Structure 1
Amino acid sequence: MLASAPTKIVVTGPFGAGKTTFVSTLSQDPVVSTERAVSDATATVKTSTTVAMDHGGVHVEPPAGAPWPARRVGLFGTPGQQRFAFMWEMLARDMDGYVVLVDASRGESVTQARGIVSAFAGLAPYVPRLVLVSRWSDPAGSRADLAAALGTPVQSLMRCDPRDRGDATAALHVLLDGMWALSERRKHETP
């Protein structure tokens, strides 16, 4: 008997937003990473960057009351620097859902994330997404402003520290809930 294909989740966002960390936090498999030393002015933010992708995998058990079954999830982290953006389209192929990570404490990260949200919406307009925001000091008071700055609906924003397994798992569950709901809706719309 053949096992079903893993659910493909792409993890994207600007340079330094925590994509590699998010994949590493969730992955139960050894993470394949293409991190390389930074050789330009971005070294003031961090010393390494993803140049192709990060890949990990996790078996996800549904939380109590979730409508979706246990599944295998493949996590694919994209590069965040614009010069490696050609990888976005390749990694987005056949994805089931995606998350955009953004560091709300850095204005440049928010600006770059807006472009990435727009790019991925163009690549996959009907694929569920979640925008995960770290270092967000006032989620209640700034939610509408941040959503507007990112060009995304307010309900797609979720606070998440990519270093925290509980936060990352909760975000993955929310995305899987959305993917399941969309799948069910499409079943009922198909003649």
Structure 2
Amino acid sequence: MALQPTLRPLIIAGTADAPHTLDIFLDYVCPFSAKLSLAIDSVLVPLLGPQGKYHGKVKAIFRNQVQPWHASSTWVHEASLAVARTSPDKFWAFSLALFKAQDDFFDIPTSTLTPTQVREKLAKLAEQATGAPAAKVQDLLTNKTSPNGGVDVTDDLKYTIKFSRQNGIHVSPTVLWDGLIVNEISSSWGEKEWTQFLEQKVLV
């Protein structure tokens, strides 16, 4: 599993030592990613959880897939990584909240806001949706050092972007099974498709 220690909260289902890995590349301002997030939460999380059939066999890792043609994409992904730092157990809950509120962070709604204002909205959403302290999230999203030094989670963001680039990931959602892209997986998949997929892939 390729995942630096600070990003362990991105394991959203299953155990870290599970032999099989689903890497799921999602963008918070992508409608198709939002659709897939519902299936992840309602189907995959239970199947890979403590009472699930594939517990200890498969883990699902959320992979932040920044889509730079949407200006706010960087900011929403930064916010999720800030929550991963301040409230690791709330990362997936905040991700779901972001997907539900994604319309608020589309291009036009954010076009008249400054980056600081967008980050303030994200910090408030984090607290309202998950209880993650807005002040701590906001602090991690604040420029503090050099004029071009980024914020406190910039290094985590760089890691996620470099991981996507070196694996040739271009669109969201994209899913890897044990390191290889699985093109047939779609945002329209529901319980039937995911169940059949896992039955075929997990043989022991």
TM range (shorter): under 0.3
Q: TM-score, normalised by structure 1?
A: 0.27
Q: Name the structure, 1 or 2, with higher relative contact order (CA <8 Å, separation 6+).
A: 2
**Bigger proportion of residues as helix:** 2
